[in-house]
Structure 1
Amino acid sequence: MSIIYLIRHAQASFGQANYDRLSDLGQCQAKILADHFQALDLEFDAIYSGGQLRHEQTLAAYLKKFSKPENAMPPVHKTDAFNEYNSENILKTLIPEMIRDDAAFETDVTMMLADKRSFQTVYEKVMRKWINSENPANNLGTWKTYSNRVRTGLDEIMASAGAGKKIAVFTSGGPISVCVQKALSLSDGNTLQLTWQIMNTSITRLKYSGNQMALFGFNDVTHLEIAKDEQLLTYR
Protein backbone atom coordinates (compact mmCIF):
# COMPACT_ATOMS: atom_id res chain seq x y z
CA MET A 1 0.00 0.00 0.00
CA SER A 2 1.11 3.55 -0.74
CA ILE A 3 -0.09 6.72 0.98
CA ILE A 4 -0.81 10.07 -0.64
CA TYR A 5 -0.67 13.04 1.73
CA LEU A 6 -2.91 15.82 0.41
CA ILE A 7 -1.79 19.03 2.09
CA ARG A 8 -3.83 22.20 1.85
CA HIS A 9 -1.80 25.40 1.60
CA ALA A 10 -1.35 27.67 4.61
CA GLN A 11 -3.49 30.79 4.98
CA ALA A 12 -3.32 33.02 1.91
CA SER A 13 -3.96 36.77 1.78
CA PHE A 14 -7.75 36.91 1.85
CA GLY A 15 -9.12 40.40 1.18
CA GLN A 16 -5.83 41.68 -0.24
CA ALA A 17 -5.12 42.71 -3.82
CA ASN A 18 -3.10 39.53 -4.33
CA TYR A 19 -4.73 36.58 -2.61
CA ASP A 20 -2.19 34.10 -3.94
CA ARG A 21 0.55 34.53 -1.35
CA LEU A 22 0.79 33.44 2.26
CA SER A 23 -0.18 35.83 5.01
CA ASP A 24 2.11 36.28 8.01
CA LEU A 25 -0.08 33.78 9.87
CA GLY A 26 0.14 31.46 6.88
CA GLN A 27 3.94 31.57 7.02
CA CYS A 28 3.71 30.56 10.67
CA GLN A 29 1.31 27.70 9.87
CA ALA A 30 3.61 26.41 7.13
CA LYS A 31 6.57 26.36 9.51
CA ILE A 32 4.55 24.51 12.17
CA LEU A 33 3.58 21.93 9.54
CA ALA A 34 7.21 21.47 8.50
CA ASP A 35 8.25 21.10 12.15
CA HIS A 36 5.51 18.49 12.57
CA PHE A 37 6.79 16.45 9.64
CA GLN A 38 10.31 16.69 11.03
CA ALA A 39 9.13 15.48 14.46
CA LEU A 40 7.53 12.49 12.73
CA ASP A 41 10.70 11.95 10.68
CA LEU A 42 8.37 11.95 7.70
CA GLU A 43 10.21 12.13 4.41
CA PHE A 44 8.41 11.65 1.12
CA ASP A 45 9.37 9.47 -1.81
CA ALA A 46 7.77 11.91 -4.25
CA ILE A 47 6.51 15.47 -3.94
CA TYR A 48 3.90 17.17 -6.12
CA SER A 49 2.71 20.76 -5.99
CA GLY A 50 0.08 22.83 -7.67
CA GLY A 51 1.51 25.75 -9.59
CA GLN A 52 0.01 28.54 -7.49
CA LEU A 53 2.26 30.60 -5.24
CA ARG A 54 0.47 29.63 -2.04
CA HIS A 55 1.19 25.97 -2.79
CA GLU A 56 4.84 26.68 -3.50
CA GLN A 57 5.30 28.80 -0.38
CA THR A 58 3.76 26.12 1.85
CA LEU A 59 6.02 23.52 0.26
CA ALA A 60 9.04 25.83 0.65
CA ALA A 61 8.80 25.62 4.44
CA TYR A 62 9.02 21.83 4.23
CA LEU A 63 11.93 21.93 1.78
CA LYS A 64 13.79 24.40 3.99
CA LYS A 65 13.40 22.07 6.97
CA PHE A 66 14.51 18.91 5.17
CA SER A 67 16.99 20.19 2.56
CA LYS A 68 20.28 19.21 4.19
CA PRO A 69 23.41 17.62 2.72
CA GLU A 70 22.57 14.26 4.31
CA ASN A 71 19.02 14.29 2.90
CA ALA A 72 18.50 13.26 -0.69
CA MET A 73 15.33 15.18 -1.47
CA PRO A 74 13.10 13.83 -4.22
CA PRO A 75 12.40 16.17 -7.13
CA VAL A 76 9.33 18.40 -6.90
CA HIS A 77 6.81 17.85 -9.67
CA LYS A 78 4.78 21.00 -10.33
CA THR A 79 1.47 20.36 -12.05
CA ASP A 80 -1.59 22.43 -12.86
CA ALA A 81 -3.68 19.34 -12.15
CA PHE A 82 -3.70 20.37 -8.49
CA ASN A 83 -4.37 24.08 -8.99
CA GLU A 84 -7.48 25.56 -7.43
CA TYR A 85 -10.35 26.69 -9.64
CA ASN A 86 -10.32 30.42 -10.45
CA SER A 87 -12.84 31.53 -7.85
CA GLU A 88 -12.19 35.21 -8.53
CA ASN A 89 -13.28 34.90 -12.15
CA ILE A 90 -16.24 32.73 -11.18
CA LEU A 91 -17.43 35.33 -8.66
CA LYS A 92 -16.90 38.29 -11.00
CA THR A 93 -18.75 36.57 -13.81
CA LEU A 94 -21.70 34.99 -12.02
CA ILE A 95 -22.52 37.56 -9.31
CA PRO A 96 -23.95 40.17 -11.75
CA GLU A 97 -26.03 37.47 -13.42
CA MET A 98 -27.35 36.27 -10.05
CA ILE A 99 -28.21 39.82 -8.93
CA ARG A 100 -30.26 40.27 -12.11
CA ASP A 101 -32.17 37.11 -11.20
CA ASP A 102 -32.56 38.02 -7.50
CA ALA A 103 -32.16 41.67 -6.47
CA ALA A 104 -32.08 40.74 -2.76
CA PHE A 105 -28.83 38.87 -3.38
CA GLU A 106 -27.09 42.23 -3.80
CA THR A 107 -27.39 42.90 -0.05
CA ASP A 108 -25.06 40.03 0.79
CA VAL A 109 -22.75 40.97 -2.07
CA THR A 110 -22.25 44.51 -0.78
CA MET A 111 -21.28 43.13 2.64
CA MET A 112 -19.20 40.15 1.56
CA LEU A 113 -15.72 41.63 2.03
CA ALA A 114 -16.55 43.18 5.40
CA ASP A 115 -18.50 40.28 6.87
CA LYS A 116 -17.27 36.66 6.80
CA ARG A 117 -20.77 35.21 7.05
CA SER A 118 -21.98 37.27 4.08
CA PHE A 119 -18.92 36.23 2.10
CA GLN A 120 -19.58 32.56 2.77
CA THR A 121 -23.25 32.96 1.85
CA VAL A 122 -22.36 34.57 -1.47
CA TYR A 123 -19.50 32.18 -2.16
CA GLU A 124 -21.57 29.06 -1.56
CA LYS A 125 -24.47 30.28 -3.72
CA VAL A 126 -22.17 31.24 -6.58
CA MET A 127 -20.24 27.98 -6.44
CA ARG A 128 -23.44 25.93 -6.40
CA LYS A 129 -24.56 27.77 -9.52
CA TRP A 130 -21.20 27.12 -11.17
CA ILE A 131 -21.06 23.38 -10.46
CA ASN A 132 -24.61 23.00 -11.81
CA SER A 133 -23.90 24.99 -15.00
CA GLU A 134 -23.14 22.95 -18.10
CA ASN A 135 -22.18 26.02 -20.14
CA PRO A 136 -21.10 28.85 -17.80
CA ALA A 137 -20.57 32.29 -19.27
CA ASN A 138 -17.29 33.77 -20.49
CA ASN A 139 -15.44 30.49 -20.88
CA LEU A 140 -15.22 29.87 -17.13
CA GLY A 141 -14.96 26.16 -17.74
CA THR A 142 -17.20 23.63 -16.06
CA TRP A 143 -16.95 21.90 -12.71
CA LYS A 144 -16.84 18.61 -14.61
CA THR A 145 -13.79 19.71 -16.60
CA TYR A 146 -12.11 20.94 -13.44
CA SER A 147 -12.79 17.78 -11.42
CA ASN A 148 -11.68 15.56 -14.31
CA ARG A 149 -8.38 17.45 -14.42
CA VAL A 150 -7.79 16.74 -10.73
CA ARG A 151 -8.80 13.09 -11.07
CA THR A 152 -6.42 12.66 -14.00
CA GLY A 153 -3.58 14.12 -11.93
CA LEU A 154 -4.38 11.76 -9.07
CA ASP A 155 -4.55 8.76 -11.40
CA GLU A 156 -1.15 9.65 -12.87
CA ILE A 157 0.42 9.74 -9.41
CA MET A 158 -1.10 6.38 -8.50
CA ALA A 159 0.13 4.85 -11.76
CA SER A 160 3.69 6.15 -11.51
CA ALA A 161 4.65 6.13 -7.83
CA GLY A 162 4.76 2.38 -7.22
CA ALA A 163 4.06 0.36 -4.09
CA GLY A 164 5.02 1.20 -0.51
CA LYS A 165 5.56 4.89 -1.21
CA LYS A 166 4.72 8.10 0.64
CA ILE A 167 3.73 10.90 -1.70
CA ALA A 168 3.03 14.51 -0.78
CA VAL A 169 0.73 16.78 -2.78
CA PHE A 170 0.69 20.47 -1.81
CA THR A 171 -2.57 21.87 -3.14
CA SER A 172 -5.88 23.57 -2.28
CA GLY A 173 -9.24 22.66 -0.80
CA GLY A 174 -10.95 22.13 -4.15
CA PRO A 175 -8.57 19.45 -5.45
CA ILE A 176 -8.52 17.75 -2.04
CA SER A 177 -12.32 17.55 -2.02
CA VAL A 178 -12.31 16.08 -5.55
CA CYS A 179 -9.81 13.41 -4.46
CA VAL A 180 -12.03 12.54 -1.49
CA GLN A 181 -15.02 12.51 -3.85
CA LYS A 182 -13.23 9.90 -5.94
CA ALA A 183 -12.41 7.81 -2.87
CA LEU A 184 -15.93 7.93 -1.40
CA SER A 185 -18.06 8.30 -4.56
CA LEU A 186 -19.61 11.54 -3.32
CA SER A 187 -22.06 13.67 -5.29
CA ASP A 188 -20.88 17.03 -6.64
CA GLY A 189 -23.07 18.84 -4.11
CA ASN A 190 -21.64 16.93 -1.16
CA THR A 191 -18.14 17.45 -2.51
CA LEU A 192 -18.69 21.20 -2.57
CA GLN A 193 -19.92 21.11 1.04
CA LEU A 194 -16.81 19.16 1.98
CA THR A 195 -14.60 21.89 0.52
CA TRP A 196 -15.75 24.43 3.13
CA GLN A 197 -14.46 22.19 5.94
CA ILE A 198 -10.88 21.81 4.73
CA MET A 199 -8.55 23.86 6.92
CA ASN A 200 -5.26 25.55 6.12
CA THR A 201 -2.27 23.14 6.28
CA SER A 202 -4.63 20.24 6.97
CA ILE A 203 -3.48 16.76 6.00
CA THR A 204 -5.79 14.33 4.21
CA ARG A 205 -4.45 10.85 3.52
CA LEU A 206 -5.41 8.34 0.85
CA LYS A 207 -4.21 4.75 0.81
CA TYR A 208 -4.03 2.98 -2.51
CA SER A 209 -2.89 -0.21 -4.16
CA GLY A 210 -3.09 -0.44 -7.92
CA ASN A 211 -6.24 1.45 -8.86
CA GLN A 212 -7.99 0.76 -5.54
CA MET A 213 -8.09 3.72 -3.16
CA ALA A 214 -9.51 4.44 0.29
CA LEU A 215 -9.71 7.47 2.55
CA PHE A 216 -7.26 6.98 5.44
CA GLY A 217 -7.52 10.34 7.22
CA PHE A 218 -9.25 13.66 6.61
CA ASN A 219 -8.53 17.31 7.44
CA ASP A 220 -6.01 16.58 10.21
CA VAL A 221 -4.66 19.73 11.90
CA THR A 222 -3.20 18.13 15.03
CA HIS A 223 0.04 20.02 14.39
CA LEU A 224 -1.85 23.31 14.80
CA GLU A 225 -4.04 22.19 17.69
CA ILE A 226 -0.99 21.23 19.74
CA ALA A 227 0.08 24.89 19.68
CA LYS A 228 -3.11 25.77 21.62
CA ASP A 229 -3.63 28.98 19.66
CA GLU A 230 -7.06 29.23 18.05
CA GLN A 231 -5.83 31.93 15.66
CA LEU A 232 -3.87 29.22 13.86
CA LEU A 233 -7.07 27.33 12.98
CA THR A 234 -8.23 28.96 9.76
CA TYR A 235 -10.28 28.11 6.70
CA ARG A 236 -9.17 31.03 4.49
Structure 2
Amino acid sequence: MVEITLVRHGQAQTGAGDEESYDRLSDLGRTQAQWLGQHFKATERTFDHMICGTLKRHIGTAKAIQENLPLEIQQDPRLNEMDYFGLAKSLEETHAVQFPTDRESFITHVSQILTVWQSGEIASHLETFEAFQTRTKAIIDMAENLGGRVLLVTSGGFIGMAMRILLQLEVRSYANVLLQIHNTSLHRYVKAGDHLVLDAFNAIPHLEMPDRAFARTYI
Protein backbone atom coordinates (compact mmCIF):
# COMPACT_ATOMS: atom_id res chain seq x y z
CA MET A 1 0.00 0.00 0.00
CA VAL A 2 1.26 3.46 -0.93
CA GLU A 3 -0.36 6.66 0.31
CA ILE A 4 1.37 10.03 0.06
CA THR A 5 -0.15 12.99 1.91
CA LEU A 6 1.23 16.47 1.29
CA VAL A 7 0.53 19.21 3.84
CA ARG A 8 1.10 22.87 3.23
CA HIS A 9 2.73 24.72 6.14
CA GLY A 10 0.70 26.87 8.49
CA GLN A 11 0.28 30.57 7.85
CA ALA A 12 3.65 32.33 7.82
CA GLN A 13 4.38 36.07 8.10
CA THR A 14 1.81 37.60 5.78
CA GLY A 15 2.93 40.89 4.29
CA ALA A 16 6.66 40.11 4.43
CA GLY A 17 8.76 41.42 1.57
CA ASP A 18 11.53 38.82 1.60
CA GLU A 19 12.03 35.12 2.33
CA GLU A 20 13.83 35.60 5.65
CA SER A 21 11.03 37.76 7.05
CA TYR A 22 8.33 35.46 5.70
CA ASP A 23 9.81 32.17 6.90
CA ARG A 24 8.28 31.91 10.36
CA LEU A 25 4.88 30.66 11.45
CA SER A 26 2.40 33.21 12.68
CA ASP A 27 0.48 32.45 15.87
CA LEU A 28 -2.45 31.41 13.69
CA GLY A 29 -0.19 29.21 11.57
CA ARG A 30 1.00 27.33 14.64
CA THR A 31 -2.60 26.88 15.80
CA GLN A 32 -3.65 25.60 12.37
CA ALA A 33 -0.93 22.95 12.52
CA GLN A 34 -1.83 21.95 16.08
CA TRP A 35 -5.47 21.54 15.05
CA LEU A 36 -4.37 19.34 12.17
CA GLY A 37 -2.38 17.14 14.53
CA GLN A 38 -5.40 16.92 16.83
CA HIS A 39 -7.53 15.90 13.84
CA PHE A 40 -5.11 13.11 12.95
CA LYS A 41 -5.24 11.87 16.55
CA ALA A 42 -9.03 12.08 16.83
CA THR A 43 -9.54 10.19 13.58
CA GLU A 44 -6.75 7.71 14.39
CA ARG A 45 -4.94 8.69 11.22
CA THR A 46 -1.47 7.15 11.31
CA PHE A 47 1.62 7.53 9.16
CA ASP A 48 4.77 5.50 8.72
CA HIS A 49 7.00 8.46 7.86
CA MET A 50 6.85 12.24 8.33
CA ILE A 51 9.26 14.30 6.25
CA CYS A 52 9.41 18.09 6.08
CA GLY A 53 11.47 20.66 4.26
CA THR A 54 14.25 22.56 6.01
CA LEU A 55 12.51 25.94 6.06
CA LYS A 56 11.46 27.27 9.48
CA ARG A 57 7.77 27.26 8.55
CA HIS A 58 8.02 23.60 7.49
CA ILE A 59 9.79 22.51 10.68
CA GLY A 60 7.43 24.54 12.87
CA THR A 61 4.41 23.00 11.20
CA ALA A 62 5.79 19.46 11.51
CA LYS A 63 6.62 19.95 15.20
CA ALA A 64 3.14 21.31 15.93
CA ILE A 65 1.57 18.29 14.21
CA GLN A 66 3.96 16.02 16.10
CA GLU A 67 2.47 17.14 19.43
CA ASN A 68 -0.45 14.83 18.64
CA LEU A 69 1.29 12.49 16.23
CA PRO A 70 4.30 10.86 17.94
CA LEU A 71 6.41 10.24 14.88
CA GLU A 72 10.03 11.09 14.14
CA ILE A 73 10.47 14.08 11.84
CA GLN A 74 12.93 13.74 8.99
CA GLN A 75 14.06 16.76 6.97
CA ASP A 76 14.76 16.96 3.25
CA PRO A 77 15.60 20.24 1.45
CA ARG A 78 14.00 18.92 -1.74
CA LEU A 79 10.65 19.75 -0.10
CA ASN A 80 11.56 23.43 0.12
CA GLU A 81 9.58 26.07 -1.72
CA MET A 82 10.62 27.81 -4.92
CA ASP A 83 12.41 31.11 -4.26
CA TYR A 84 9.29 33.19 -4.92
CA PHE A 85 10.78 36.43 -3.60
CA GLY A 86 13.91 35.94 -5.73
CA LEU A 87 11.79 35.18 -8.78
CA ALA A 88 9.64 38.23 -8.08
CA LYS A 89 12.70 40.47 -7.83
CA SER A 90 14.02 39.12 -11.11
CA LEU A 91 10.64 39.62 -12.77
CA GLU A 92 10.59 43.23 -11.60
CA GLU A 93 14.14 43.85 -12.85
CA THR A 94 13.68 42.17 -16.24
CA HIS A 95 10.01 42.87 -17.00
CA ALA A 96 9.16 45.86 -14.75
CA VAL A 97 6.40 43.87 -12.98
CA GLN A 98 5.85 45.17 -9.47
CA PHE A 99 5.49 42.86 -6.45
CA PRO A 100 1.76 42.39 -5.66
CA THR A 101 0.19 44.31 -2.80
CA ASP A 102 -3.15 42.46 -2.57
CA ARG A 103 -4.68 39.10 -3.47
CA GLU A 104 -6.09 40.31 -6.79
CA SER A 105 -2.71 41.44 -8.07
CA PHE A 106 -1.09 38.31 -6.60
CA ILE A 107 -3.38 36.14 -8.77
CA THR A 108 -1.96 37.74 -11.91
CA HIS A 109 1.56 37.80 -10.52
CA VAL A 110 1.76 34.02 -9.94
CA SER A 111 0.84 33.24 -13.53
CA GLN A 112 3.35 35.81 -14.82
CA ILE A 113 6.17 34.41 -12.69
CA LEU A 114 5.56 30.77 -13.64
CA THR A 115 5.30 31.59 -17.35
CA VAL A 116 8.53 33.62 -17.42
CA TRP A 117 10.29 31.13 -15.14
CA GLN A 118 9.43 28.17 -17.35
CA SER A 119 10.66 29.99 -20.45
CA GLY A 120 14.01 30.73 -18.79
CA GLU A 121 13.60 34.53 -18.70
CA ILE A 122 14.70 34.76 -15.05
CA ALA A 123 18.03 35.67 -13.44
CA SER A 124 20.58 32.90 -14.06
CA HIS A 125 21.59 32.52 -10.40
CA LEU A 126 18.11 31.29 -9.43
CA GLU A 127 16.94 27.68 -9.47
CA THR A 128 15.48 26.86 -12.87
CA PHE A 129 11.91 25.73 -13.39
CA GLU A 130 13.21 22.39 -14.66
CA ALA A 131 15.40 21.92 -11.58
CA PHE A 132 12.45 22.60 -9.27
CA GLN A 133 10.33 20.16 -11.23
CA THR A 134 13.09 17.54 -11.09
CA ARG A 135 13.56 17.72 -7.31
CA THR A 136 9.80 17.63 -6.79
CA LYS A 137 9.55 14.44 -8.82
CA ALA A 138 12.54 12.98 -6.98
CA ILE A 139 10.97 13.36 -3.53
CA ILE A 140 7.62 12.01 -4.75
CA ASP A 141 9.44 9.00 -6.21
CA MET A 142 11.29 8.53 -2.92
CA ALA A 143 8.04 8.65 -0.93
CA GLU A 144 6.49 6.15 -3.31
CA ASN A 145 9.44 3.80 -2.86
CA LEU A 146 9.25 4.08 0.93
CA GLY A 147 5.77 2.58 0.79
CA GLY A 148 3.11 2.78 3.46
CA ARG A 149 1.66 6.12 4.53
CA VAL A 150 4.04 9.03 4.03
CA LEU A 151 3.34 12.57 5.30
CA LEU A 152 5.23 15.36 3.52
CA VAL A 153 5.17 18.87 5.05
CA THR A 154 6.02 21.42 2.40
CA SER A 155 4.80 24.57 0.61
CA GLY A 156 2.13 25.52 -1.89
CA GLY A 157 4.47 25.81 -4.86
CA PHE A 158 5.80 22.30 -4.27
CA ILE A 159 2.27 20.90 -3.88
CA GLY A 160 1.22 22.59 -7.12
CA MET A 161 4.29 21.26 -8.92
CA ALA A 162 3.57 17.73 -7.67
CA MET A 163 0.09 18.05 -9.10
CA ARG A 164 1.49 19.40 -12.38
CA ILE A 165 3.73 16.33 -12.65
CA LEU A 166 1.21 13.70 -11.59
CA LEU A 167 -1.76 15.17 -13.49
CA GLN A 168 0.25 16.59 -16.41
CA LEU A 169 -0.98 20.16 -15.92
CA GLU A 170 -0.03 23.09 -18.14
CA VAL A 171 1.64 26.04 -16.42
CA ARG A 172 -1.55 28.14 -16.38
CA SER A 173 -3.39 25.30 -14.62
CA TYR A 174 -0.46 24.94 -12.22
CA ALA A 175 -0.82 28.63 -11.35
CA ASN A 176 -4.58 28.24 -10.75
CA VAL A 177 -3.98 25.26 -8.45
CA LEU A 178 -1.27 27.06 -6.48
CA LEU A 179 -3.50 30.06 -5.77
CA GLN A 180 -6.18 27.97 -4.06
CA ILE A 181 -4.03 25.99 -1.62
CA HIS A 182 -5.03 26.63 2.00
CA ASN A 183 -2.52 26.75 4.83
CA THR A 184 -2.27 23.27 6.46
CA SER A 185 -4.42 21.74 3.71
CA LEU A 186 -4.15 18.04 2.85
CA HIS A 187 -3.42 16.64 -0.62
CA ARG A 188 -3.37 12.87 -0.89
CA TYR A 189 -2.26 10.44 -3.59
CA VAL A 190 -2.72 6.69 -3.49
CA LYS A 191 -1.19 4.08 -5.75
CA ALA A 192 -3.59 2.38 -8.11
CA GLY A 193 -1.87 -0.22 -10.23
CA ASP A 194 1.36 1.37 -11.43
CA HIS A 195 0.25 4.97 -10.97
CA LEU A 196 -0.28 7.50 -8.22
CA VAL A 197 -3.80 8.91 -8.43
CA LEU A 198 -5.30 11.94 -6.70
CA ASP A 199 -7.44 10.96 -3.71
CA ALA A 200 -7.89 14.35 -1.98
CA PHE A 201 -7.12 17.97 -2.85
CA ASN A 202 -7.00 21.01 -0.57
CA ALA A 203 -8.85 19.28 2.26
CA ILE A 204 -9.12 21.18 5.55
CA PRO A 205 -11.23 18.90 7.80
CA HIS A 206 -9.65 20.47 10.90
CA LEU A 207 -10.91 23.91 9.85
CA GLU A 208 -14.42 23.06 8.64
CA MET A 209 -16.20 24.00 11.87
CA PRO A 210 -17.99 27.37 11.69
CA ASP A 211 -16.00 28.78 14.61
CA ARG A 212 -12.76 28.12 12.69
CA ALA A 213 -13.79 29.87 9.47
CA PHE A 214 -11.39 32.71 10.32
CA ALA A 215 -8.48 30.23 10.16
CA ARG A 216 -9.03 29.26 6.52
CA THR A 217 -6.17 31.21 5.00
CA TYR A 218 -4.27 31.19 1.71
CA ILE A 219 -1.45 33.60 2.63
Q: TM-score, normalised by structure 1?
A: 0.84
- Tell me which amino acid in the other structure corresponds to 1:87: Y
Match of 1:116? Answer: 103
Match of 2:138 among 123, 127, 152: 152
Give secondary structure in 1 for the equivalent of 2:188: strand
- Quote the offset at 1:124 in angstroms: 3.2
Deviations 1:173-222 (A, max 9, x none): 11111222222222233222211111100000000267521111111012
Match of 2:91 among 81, 89, 94: 94
Q: Kindly, what percent of the aligned residue pairs are identical? A: 31
Alpha carbons of 1:214 and 1:139: their partners in 2 closer, same or farther (altered >3 Å)? same
Distance 1:132 1:233 in 2: 33
Aligned length: 216
Give secondary structure in 1 for the equivalent of 2:68: helix
- Quote the offset at 1:43 in angstroms: 2.0
Distance 2:181 2:86 in 1: 21
Match of 2:173 among 157, 179, 190: 190
Give secondary structure in 2 for the equivalent of 1:65: coil
- Tell me which amino acid in the other structure corresponds to 2:138: T
Deviations 1:138-167 (A, max 9, x none): 3212211101111011111212x23xx111
Match of 1:48? Answer: 51
Distance 1:77 1:208 in 2: 23
Superposition pairs of residues 57-96 of structure 1, within 5 angstroms = 57-67=60-70, 73=71, 75-96=72-93
RMSD across aligned positions (CA): 1.9
Give secondary structure in 1 for the equivalent of 2:124: helix
Match of 2:201 among 218, 227, 236: 218
Q: Is the 8 A contact 1:5 1:204 kept in 2?
A: yes
Alpha carbons of 1:210 and 1:20: their partners in 2 closer, same or farther (altered >3 Å)? farther
- Tell me which amino acid in the other structure corresponds to 1:158: E
- Tell me which amino acid in the other structure corresponds to 1:180: M
Match of 1:102? Answer: none
Distance 2:114 2:195 in 1: 30
Deviations 1:80-117 (A, max 9, x none): 11110001111111212112xxxxx5xxx37x33x332
Give secondary structure in 2 for the equivalent of 1:66: coil
Q: Which ranges in structure 1 are unaligned for 5 or more consecutive residues?
A: 68-72, 100-104
Distance 1:123 1:207 in 2: 28
Match of 2:10? Answer: 10
Deviations 1:21-61 (A, max 9, x none): 11111111111111111111112111111111111111111
Give secondary structure in 2 for the equivalent of 1:34: helix
- Tell me which amino acid in the other structure corresponds to 1:143: F
Distance 1:150 1:211 in 2: 19
- Quote the offset at 1:227 in angstroms: 4.6
- Tell me which amino acid in the other structure corresponds to 1:23: S
- Tell me which amino acid in the other structure corresponds to 2:177: L
Larger radius of gyration: 1
- Tell me which amino acid in the other structure corresponds to 1:129: V
Q: Which ranges in structure 2 are unaligned for 5 or more consecutive residues?
A: none
